[in-house]
Amino acid sequence: MAIVSSGSSAPRGPRPTPAPRLLDAAVQENEQEQERPLQREDSLRPRKLADYIGQSELKQVLGIAIEATRTREEALDHVLLYGPPGLGKTTMALVLAEELGVRCRITSAPALERPRDIVGLLVNLQPRELLFIDEIHRLTRVAEELLYPAMEDFRLDLTVGKGTTARTRTLPLAPFTLVGATTRAGSLSSPLRDRFGLIQRLEFYGLEDLQAIVQRAAGLLALELEPEAALEVARRCRGTPRIANRLLRRVRDVAAVGGHGRVGAALVQQALSLHRVDGRGLDASDRRLLELLHNGYGGGPVGLDTLAAGLGEDPVTLESVVEPFLLQQGLLQRTPRGRVITAAGVAHLREHAA
Ligand code: ADE
C-alpha cells in the first residue's frame, strides 16, 4: 500500500485510529533493522559534553539547552549542525543523547528513499529520543514533507489510497528531537531549516584543541606519544579530528612495525610523509587542485565545474570536502568569476615542490 505525505495541512482532531496495514510494513521493517555496525571511530568518540574538546560556542549553547530541557522534562528542541565533514556532528548527536539519557537512532537521508523508511523510524521513537539524520539536505521531497508536521506538532499526516478513495490519517508521535547534519546548509530548503530551534555551525579546530584530541586518542589507543608528536599530527590533520585520528592510527602502525615504544615528532613526520600528507596537512588531492589552478589556468579564475572535470572529481565533493580547508587556510579564494589561487597558495606549492 502506498504511503504518501499529505503535506502539513491535514486537519487536527481527536486521536485517530492508525491505518494498521499501512503502518505495519513500516514498523516491522524498522524493528527488524539491524543496529548500526560499530565504526572504527566510535571507540575514540567522547561520550560526555565535558570530554568533547573544542567548539566552545557550540558546547555552551547545547549545554544550556540540555540543562533547560532536563529541568522541564521535555524533548530537546530540534538541532541542525552544519559544517565541513569530520568535525564531530555525529559525535555531538551521540553526546546529546548520552547527556539526556536517551537513545539516538542514526540514519542518513540517502537511506530514507521510500516514505515508509522515515515513517518506520518516526513511529518507533520513544519520548525524548533523538533521531539523527546525516546529509539532511539530501532528503526526498516526500520525506521532507512528512517531517514538517512531525517536527512541529509530533504528528504524522499520511494519505492512504489513491484518487477518489484517498483518505488522510493523522498519527500522533512521541515528542522527539531531530538532529540534522549537513555539509551544505545552503542546500536545505527554508521550510525545513526554519523548523530547527537550534542551528549551529561547527568550525575547524585550532592547533591546541587538536593536540589535546590527539593526546586523548593516543591514550585510548595505548600509544605513548610525546606532546611534540601530538602537535605534529595536529598540524597535519586539516583542522579535522576525524583526520587526526586516522593519521594517528597510521603513526601507530609505523611505530609498531619499527618497534618504537615512545613516539616522537620525527617519527610522526616520517610516517605521514609516507602517506603524502605535507607539513600543513595538505594531501595529494589538495595539491593537485592548487597545481592545476596554478599551472593549468595561470592561477585562475576558473569555474568549479571546469576544475572538477580537470581533476576527475565530482564538483559537489570538491566544493564541500576539498575546498573548505584550502579556503580557511587562505590558499584558495572563491570569487564571482571562479576559483583563484592566492599568493600563500603559490608559496605553499613552491615550498612543497616534489
Ligand atoms: N575525538 C573526535 N572529536 C573529538 C572532540 N571534539 N573531542 C574529543 N575527542 C574527539
Question: pLDDT tens digits for 198-216?
Answer: 999 999 999 999 999 999 9
Q: How far is the CA of 240 from the centre of ligand 1 (A)?
A: 9
pLDDT of residue 12: 39
Catalytic residue among 45, 89, 105, 169: 89
Site of grid cell 566544493: 319
CA–CA distance from 343 to each of 185, 262, 264, 299, 352 (Å)?
29, 39, 33, 9, 14
User: In Å, how far from its chain's centre is CA 190?
Assistant: 19
Q: Is the CB of 88 under 6 A from ligand 1?
A: yes
100's grid cell? 539526556
Record the pTM: 0.86
Least reliable range by pLDDT among 12-21, 45-54, 293-302: 12-21
Of residues 129 and 285, the one with the higher pLDDT is 129
In the predicted structure, residue 161 carries a pLDDT above the cut 90: no
**For 37-60, what is the mean pLDDT?**
90
Least reliable range by pLDDT among 62-66, 120-124, 167-171: 167-171
pLDDT of residue 17: 42
Q: Is the CB of 241 under 6 A from ligand 1?
A: yes
In the predicted structure, residue 21 carries a pLDDT above the cut 70: no
Helix axes 141-153, 115-123, angle to 10 degrees: 20
Q: How far is the CA of 228 from the centre of ligand 1 (A)?
A: 19
Q: Is the CB of 52 under 6 A from ligand 1?
A: yes
Q: Is the CB of 216 under 6 A from ligand 1?
A: yes
pLDDT of residue 259: 86
Could you read off the pLDDT of 263-309 as tens digits, one per residue? 999 999 999 988 889 989 999 889 999 999 999 999 999 999 999 99
340 falls in which pLDDT band (50, 70, 90)? Answer: very high
- Give the per-residue SS3 of the chain: CCEEECCCCCCCCCCCCCCHHHHHHHHHHHHHCCCCCCCHHHHHCCCCHHHCCCCHHHHHHHHHHHHHHHHHCCCCCCEEEECCCCCCHHHHHHHHHHHHCCCEEEEEHHHCCCHHHHHHHHHCCCCCCEEEEECHHHCCHHHHHHHHHHHHHCEEEEEECCHHHCEEEEEECCCCEEEEEECCHHHCCHHHHCCCCEEEECCCCCHHHHHHHHHHHHHHCCCEECHHHHHHHHHCCCCCHHHHHHHHHHHHHHHHHHCCCEECHHHHHHHHHHCCCCCCCCCHHHHHHHHHHHHHCCCCCECHHHHHHHHCCCHHHHHHHHHHHHHHCCCEEEECCEEEECHHHHHHHHHCCC
116's grid cell? 515508509
**For 251-274, what is the mean pLDDT?**
93
Q: Which residues are CB-contacts of 61 (< 8 A; sequence separation ≥ 6)?
A: 198, 200
Q: How far is the CA of 68 from the centre of ligand 1 (A)?
A: 24
Q: How far is the CA of 50 from the centre of ligand 1 (A)?
A: 11
* 17 is known as an active-site residue: no
pLDDT of residue 24: 59
pLDDT of residue 162: 84
pLDDT of residue 233: 97
250's grid cell? 597510521
pLDDT of residue 133: 98
156's grid cell? 504524522
225 falls in which pLDDT band (50, 70, 90)? Answer: very high
* 242 is known as an active-site residue: yes
**For 30-45, what is the mean pLDDT?**
66
Mutate to test the pocket of ligand 1, among 57, 59, 91 (most ligand atoms within 8 A of CB): 91
pLDDT of residue 30: 56
**For 315-322, what is the mean pLDDT?**
92
pLDDT of residue 292: 97
Mutate to test the pocket of ligand 1, among 45, 62, 96 (most ligand atoms within 8 A of CB): 45
In the predicted structure, residue 116 carries a pLDDT above the cut 90: yes
* 195 is known as an active-site residue: no
Per the CB < 8 A criterion, the answer to whether 337 and 301 are in contact is yes
Average pLDDT, the chain: 90
Residue 151, amino acid: M
